[in-house]
Copies of this chain bind each other. A is one copy, B any other.
């Protein structure tokens, strides 16, 4: 399937489709029209049809989409059935919050271990996941080859930690450090979580009222 021309905006909408379809599926909805789905999501039916056409043919004229099928197709496109492995680097409040509350499994990720420098944390477990010493990181990554590292280290350590992991072969970074990271390796992907962007969007919306 040709995917080269999928725009960033479409890629960003895919997880939302998946989330809404997952919710509909859990509620027992069997099929849905593009207009009803669009209404729920606040986008147009034609936007949905256009987005999905990037990935193949879905739905049937006059029937709409089979919820379970489309959910599973989009899940497949997103790679949720790939069983990616993931590690957390930095077990401060945010790292710990993710370990305790985020359902890595539901997004197709297996959380293998977390790493920290604090002797008080090393050797303990949070929600079943072991916290290892940063000195064990290199050996662990070479042995387990995680697909993604969650970066929840302090800002000052962000780029150096990313560099170390890139050298070890990690190619995906879920970056919570608020530092713009870069790499010369074109195969490396950074996904930055910018809390401020989200709060500023809300600021705009309460300001325009």
Contacts and interface: CB of A to CB of B under 8 A. Distances in A.
Interface of A: 3, 8-9, 11-12, 14-16, 18-19, 23, 42, 77-80, 82, 84, 92-94, 96-98, 100-104, 106-109, 147-148, 171-174, 180, 187, 189, 191, 193-209
B206 A80 contact: no
B77 A204 contact: yes
A74 to B, nearest CB: 9
Contact of A196 (B106, B147, B198, B201): B106
Q: How many copies of this chain does one complex carry?
A: 2
Contact of A194 (B15, B92, B191): B15
B82 A203 contact: yes
Contacts of A196: 15, 19, 102-103, 106-107
A35 to B, nearest CB: 18
A12 B9 CA distance: 11
Given A16-B194, A19-B194, 20 more contacts: A14-B201, A15-B197, A80-B203, A92-B97, A93-B94, A94-B97, A98-B195, A106-B196, A107-B199, A107-B200, A108-B203, A147-B206, A148-B199, A148-B202, A148-B206, A171-B209, A174-B198, A189-B206, A191-B198, A193-B198
8 contacts: A15-B200, A23-B180, A77-B204, A79-B206, A93-B96, A102-B196, A172-B206, A173-B202
A103 B82 CA distance: 36
Interface of A is mostly: helix
Going nearest first, the 5 A-B pairs with the smallest beta carbon separation are: A79-B207, A93-B97, A191-B202, A15-B200, A15-B197
A104 to B, nearest CB: 8
User: Which residue, of A14, A104, A109, A197, has the highest number of chain B Cβ atoms within 10 A?
Assistant: A197
Nearest to A77: B204
A64 to B, nearest CB: 22
A198 B176 CA distance: 11
